[in-house]
Each structure stands twice: as C-alpha cells, then as structure tokens.
Amino acid sequence: MIVFIGSGKVSAEDKVVVWKSPTCGCCEAWVTYLEDEGFNVVSHNVENVVPIKNRLGLKDPALYSCHTAVVSGYVIEGHVPAMDIRRLLNDRPDILGLTAPGMPQLSPGMASIIPKNYDVLSFNEAQQAEVYSRY
C-alpha cells in the first residue's frame, strides 16, 4: 500500500519507530504530527533515550534532540519535518540520518507545524553533519 501525501509518498513498510520520554509533550506532538502526515508510527516511552541514540550510531551530543526515531534504517533525531523524511525515503542517500539538533522553537511538534528559522542536518557514521534543509 502506498499513501500519497503532499509532494511525496509514504509506503506502509516505512514505519517510524520513536523512542521518547513519557513526560515530553513536544515529543508526543511530533508523533501526532507524523501520524497526521500519513506515517505509521510506533512510539516507545523510555526514561533515558541516550543509550538508544548510541546503539543506533548517533554518538555526538551536538546532534541530539529530545526524541529519536528510525525509519527504513535511517535515524531521525528530533523535530524533523515530514517533508524531509519523505525526501530522505525517496532519495535514499548514503547517510546515517537526519537531525534537528536541540529543540527548534518553530518546528513540528513545538510551536509550529510549518518549520521556520532552523536547519535540518544530515549526518554520517563519522558524525559529520551538513545542512539538508534550511527553514
């Protein structure tokens, strides 16, 4: 099954698995945002997400955010917009994942579903990052 949403498509195989704090409202808001965007999301509440980040290959705290997800083998860290996840799944670049480091105030799950005033970075296994999208 393929669902067409906006400018990209989300396959049923592209399940997003999220690890987050049970007390973080913005994490839950990001999960709801992705579901509203057509993603199949499975969410796990954990007390400490850092060991999961490390197990997935995300080791540089400068790239961390409040929640961590995986979709089709890619790490998605923090408040990454759905359009960037769709682009990632469409292009399938040779990277470890995407991150919106910190907690960008005007990002999906925070104060705006329309991303503004922050960068989404791609990063590799060596933790080298570059701008993937600029809002």
Instruction: Supply the CATH number for residue 96's domain.
Output: 3.40.30
Its domain, for residue 11, covers: 2-134
Could you give the number of structural domains in the chain? Answer: 1
Identify whether the C-beta of residue 86 lies closer than 8 Å to the C-beta of residue 10. Answer: yes
Q: Full-prediction pTM beyond 0.75?
A: yes
pLDDT of 9 reads 55
DSSP-derived 3-state class of residue 34? helix
pLDDT of 14 reads 84
